[in-house]
Amino acid sequence: MQNISLVAFYGDKPVPLASLIQKLQRCLANHQLLQDKFIPYQLTQVHGTIIGCEGCKTDLGVVNQWFKEKRQEIKYIDFAGLINYLQHQVNLSITIRFGGYDRNTNYNFLSRDQHLYHRSFQLQSADNNIIPVLIGWSWQDYAVTLAIDNLRRDLQQFNLLHKYHTNPEDIDNDFYLRLGTINAKLTSAEIQAISTDIRNWLETQLPFYIPITLNDLAFAQYQDLTLTPATTQIFPVAEITANQFEQFL
């Protein structure tokens, strides 16, 4: 298997985003229901995934994992076309808005059928851990746009399928950042209490608008899903050539 993802903000981050991540990590670390149960990710490794490029290497190329699993189609990833598209054709920047989502405002968009206030921060179960997740959405002219979902959908032309696009009509416009792990079993009431406290804090903040530019994108070749820096190799999209990239596959 080739474990590769196209990610944003791995490594250096805009100061407002770094500050927001660190504030949320402190809130979690100091929460009375968590005490020492929250283990924050290193600031470097916190990132947003644009699309997973995972696949199985064959003599003919890398077979995309998600086309095979979700749609039972064999498609070989066109890395050269993908890199050219990202470097020269895609419409960047894309602005992501985090925080400031008022629960009483209609944003004319639901994330997994939920209001953006409720989705702005989540505690999600994963294996034996719970993962705190900050979620934002692409934003322009005072409204949510589908720019993130459209970008993921556009990459199908290079034989990449976003794993949450199982059906052609599926929409995944969430831009999410995992903040660390909670190594404990929490009751439903505890999960609800912690999530509500963080969401309420985010609701009171002025919105954070963070642009994703070409220089913020990278391919991450990883060994574990947390993208631990010691075992993750990063290839900045703005600098890599297709030939250089294929040498690492």
- What tens digit of pLDDT does each residue of 35-44 get? 889 999 999 9
Buried b (16+ CB within 10 A) or exposed e, 58-77: eeebbbbbbbeebeeeebeb
Residue ranges per structural domain of the chain: 4-247
The pLDDT of residue 136 is 98
List the structure tokens of 130. Answer: 């719970």
Q: What is the mean pLDDT of residues 130-157?
A: 97
Query: Is the peptide bond between 195 and the residue preceding it cis, with omega within 30 degrees of 0?
Result: no
Burial of 168 (C-beta count, 10 Å sphere; 0-12/13-18/19+): exposed
- What tens digit of pLDDT does each residue of 161-186 get? 999 999 999 999 999 999 999 998 89
Q: What's the fold here for domain 4-247?
A: Cyclic Phosphodiesterase; Chain: A, (3.90.1140)
- What tens digit of pLDDT does each residue of 75-132 get? 999 999 999 999 999 989 999 999 999 999 999 999 999 999 999 999 998 878 899 9
List the structure tokens of 161. Answer: 């399928």
Distance CA 76, CA 159 (A): 6
